Copies of this chain bind each other. A is one copy, B any other.
Amino acid sequence: MATNSDYEGRRRSLLEALMAIACERGLDEVSVREVASEAGVSPAKVQYYFRTKDEMLVAAFSHVEAILTGRAGHGSTARGVAHYLREHLAAWLPTDAEGTALARVWIAFLARAVVVDELAAIEVRHRNGLHHDVAALIDHGVETGEFAPDVDSRLEATLLLALVDGLVVRMLSDPGGFDAQQALHALDAHLDVRPRRRRHQQQQEHERKPVKAGV
């Protein structure tokens, strides 16, 4: 008899087959038939887990965003809020093979979300969660005295997340010309001045850091 974890495992393997197709050939190549072929099962088997292609896409997008959130969620503020914030944001950049595959699938879904309301709702919920977490982290940094007391955490979170999204887009569309090192350098340049540190922290930081080359 199939257990609950068998069911979840098989369902997940179908979502991973879908992601592999989206990563290599794009989301418009995804169909119940193609996912079945990629996973080595019958189309009827796929339809046992997902009645329609749309249902499968919604499940896959939620799955992608859950993995992305999991990747960024590790670490602690033991070495300071600013340090954790940097690690948290850097984790969104596709700096390894898994991250690149996820980012390729994410951008395919993002483009689809612009024309499909149900996918847009998933993206908005995910995005608002991220924004809330980053703003809360910055508020925490204001409380611990790492950031200046008048820092606008929601504005800073908007700027940081937009910057990271833009860097991801550039890395994906020009993998040979704009690499992880350049993206991290740009992120660090932003974090050097935003969110603004308390004055004495900023001075210590500048004394410690070597001057970096331009991107």
Contacts and interface: CB of A to CB of B under 8 A. Distances in A.
B128 A177 contact: yes
A118 interface: no
A113 interface: yes
A174 interface: yes
Interface in A129-186: 152, 154-155, 158-159, 161-167, 169-170, 172-174, 177, 182, 185-186
Contact of A193 (B104, B120, B193): B193
Interface stretch (A2-10, A23-31, A75-83, A197-205): A23-31
A173 B114 contact: yes
A23 to B, nearest CB: 8
A155 B177 CA distance: 14
Identical subunits present = 2
A172 B115 contact: no
A24 B172 CA distance: 24
B155 A165 contact: no
Contacts of A167: 162, 166
A170 to B, nearest CB: 6
Contacts of A194: 193
Closest 9 CB pairs of A and B: A162-B166, A28-B28, A111-B111, A166-B166, A165-B166, A152-B214, A26-B115, A155-B215, A123-B173
